Structure 1
Amino acid sequence: MEILQINLEKGWRGGERQTLLTACAQRDLGHNVKLVCRAGAELSLKAREAGFTVHHARSALSLAGWLALYGARFDILHAQTAGSVTGAVLSKPFHRRPIVFSRRTDFPIKTGQFFTRLKWQCVDQLVAISQAAASEPRRLGITPIIIPSATLTITLDTHRINSFLSTHALAGKRLIGTSAVLKPEKDPLTLIEAAARVCQKHPDVVFVHWGADGPSSMAARARIIELVLEKKYLLLGFQKNPEQLYPVLSAFVLCSISEALGSSILDAMSLGVPVIGTRTGGIKEVLAEGRGLLAPVGDAAAIAQHIEWLLSHPDSAQEMAANAKQYVKTEHDMHQMAQKYLTLYAKLSR
């Protein structure tokens, strides 16, 4: 099968990683996969490094033009972002190929509902990565199917772990980690408040936060200073593959206000790290049935209590983590995800 994966995002986040992971798994299963990305984007660079043919488009409009000329060469067009699905739909009268769109957010559509509904109606199948991501399409009268995101087997790098601990003088500390861009919907301020509560009682605990700067950066740094947490809450910025460092963590926390799934949570679970998340979106789906601990959105006290419980009950924490690890292995395998998409592609291509 000739498959085109399309993602025009500039950065490298969960959706871009899932795009590449899907392409790799489908290639492993014997299919010919190419990508369309934004020139210079991290996804384009990583896809080329992985041996894929990568074409470039600057915008939804330029993508539409490229697909009008070359889209008919493919059996299926898989749009992985809102912009890419726009370009695929605009050019559909020319390429006449089935379009699959993976919705990876749970944001409500506040403006442009008519045009969003029209665009989604022109897609041959809308896929949501969680029930949370499916709720808005359903509200607009679109029937999605659910195909959860997957995790890649994470290669442990002992040298990198030792270097990380040495560089930041963290040997002998109990570490609580998160990986999130510093922006309001990730709610870094709530985790900083929780850290102040935990560190007051547990002087050997240090919080490490991997993630690029964003709109909340200044507020986060100011609050860390106000709470005298400069040595207790480390903002480490963007790092490639931070999940390789998760094994040093006593717990992983994600404080998102809104989250369709949370791929960083899946990474932590796959490595046997206990997880705490907020009761929102796809997080509450992933951490259900005792796979993690849930706290109300914005509740620093509840998050701190969960962290302290995990620190004081290591055996129970590891039992919970083992349950979560098995769940990820069973439900979020990359080749199972790829096969689900391939089955869908075959159905649409008949």
Structure 2
Amino acid sequence: MRILQINLEKGWRGGERQTLFILQGLQAAGHSVGLAARCGGPLAKRAKEAGIPILPCRGTADLLRALWRVRASFDVMHAQTAQAMTVLAVLRPVLKAALVFTRRTAFQSGGRPWRQRWKWARADALVAISAAAAAAPRDLGLEVQLIPSAVQPMLPDPAQVQALRARFGLDGHRVLVTAAALSPEKDPLTLIEAVHQLRQQHPDVVCLHCGAEGAAAAGARACVDALGLQKHYLFAGFQSQVGNVLAVADVYVSSSRFEALGTSVLDACLAGLPVVATRVGGHPEILLPDRGLLVPAGDAAHLAQRLAWVLDHRDAAREMAERAQAHVRQEYSVPAMVERYLRLYRGVVSN
């Protein structure tokens, strides 16, 4: 099959990582692939390094022109973002390919519901990465197939791990790690308060917060200063080698208020870490019934209590982490995800 993936995001986050995984898996299976991506963006750069043909686009207008040029060149066009699906919906009458859209967010869609339904219904197949991401289109009466995101093992570099420990003074501490942008939906303020409470009985705890700057950054730093946590809540910035970060951790924690799935939680599970996360989005799908600990979003006291349990019950926490690791290896592998998409593609092309 000839399959075009479409993703014009400017940065590198979970959706871009999944787009590259799909492209590499399809290519390895012998299919002809292409990528419409933003000029000079990290996704285009990494895909090019992997030998994947690129349709470079500066924005929506470029994408419209590019898709018009290749309208008869692909069997499947797969939109990986809402923006890309909008363009495909507009061009639907002239495109020869089957259209697929993967919804990677769990936010309620803004605007008028009939407009969202019209757009999503232009796809021959609508995919969601979790039940939470599928809820909005299902509420509009649309059929949705669940294909969760995937993760790959990320082997740490011992020298870089030691450098991280030295840089942040982690030796002699029990380390919590979170990987999340400093944005409101990730709710760093609740995690900071939870760490403050946790340290009352566990003074050796340090939290390493890895993630890009965002709208909540100033408030988070001010909260750390106000609570006197400067040596115990450390901002590490965006870390490209997540495996090294997970290797310094005793526990992984997510305080997000919204998550479509939670690939950072998947990464932590695959690395064998016990996980404490909010009961939102896809977190329950990953961690229930007995693969992790869940807490209500925004509840710092409950979050602190669950983190304390993990620190105080090392053997039970390790067994919990081992169950999660085995589950993620089986259900969230890249080959499993690619095979699910291939079955979907074959179905829409044959119809």
TM-score by length of 1: 0.98
Structure 2 counterpart of 1:260: 260
Q: Deviations over 1:305-325 (max 9, x none)?
A: 111100010000100000000
Offset of residue 173 of structure 1: 1.4
Offset of residue 69 of structure 1: 1.3
Which SS does the other structure have where 1:249 is aligned? coil
Q: What letter is aligned with 1:215?
A: A
Counting matched residue pairs gives: 350
Counterpart-to-counterpart distance in 1, 2:7 and 2:221:
32
C-alpha root-mean-square deviation of aligned residues, in Å?
A: 1.1
Offset of residue 33 of structure 1: 1.5
Counterpart-to-counterpart distance in 1, 2:23 and 2:250:
33
Q: Deviations over 1:63-119 (max 9, x none)?
A: 122111113211111110001111122222222210110000011123132221111
Structure 1, unaligned stretches of length 5 or more? none
Counterpart-to-counterpart distance in 2, 1:71 and 1:24:
22
Which SS does the other structure have where 1:71 is aligned? coil
Instruction: Confirm or deny: 8 A CA contact 2:153 2:271 kept in the other structure.
Output: no
1:116 aligns to 2:116 (yes or no): yes
Offset of residue 247 of structure 1: 2.1
Percent of matched pairs sharing the same residue: 44
The correspondence of residues 1-350 of structure 1 with structure 2, limited to 5 A, is: 1-350=1-350
Counterpart-to-counterpart distance in 2, 1:309 and 1:172:
19
Q: Deviations over 1:35-58 (max 9, x none)?
A: 111112111111112221111123
Counterpart-to-counterpart distance in 2, 1:257 and 1:58:
32
TM-score by length of 2: 0.97
Counterpart-to-counterpart distance in 1, 2:315 and 2:224:
31
Between 1:278-287 and 1:242-251, the stretch displaced more is 242-251
Structure 2, unaligned stretches of length 5 or more? none
Instruction: Confirm or deny: 8 A CA contact 1:5 1:80 kept in the other structure.
Output: yes
Counterpart-to-counterpart distance in 1, 2:17 and 2:241:
10
Which SS does the other structure have where 1:61 is aligned? helix
Counterpart-to-counterpart distance in 1, 2:29 and 2:51:
15
Instruction: Confirm or deny: 8 A CA contact 2:7 2:37 kept in the other structure.
Output: yes
Q: Give every structure 1 segment of 4 or more consecutive aligned residues whose post-TM-superposition deviation is greater than 4 Å.
A: none
Counterpart-to-counterpart distance in 2, 1:71 and 1:231:
56
Instruction: Confirm or deny: 8 A CA contact 2:156 2:243 kept in the other structure.
Output: no
Instruction: Confirm or deny: 8 A CA contact 2:55 2:66 kept in the other structure.
Output: no
Which SS does the other structure have where 1:252 is aligned? strand
Which SS does the other structure have where 1:264 is aligned? helix
Counterpart-to-counterpart distance in 2, 1:4 and 1:11:
20
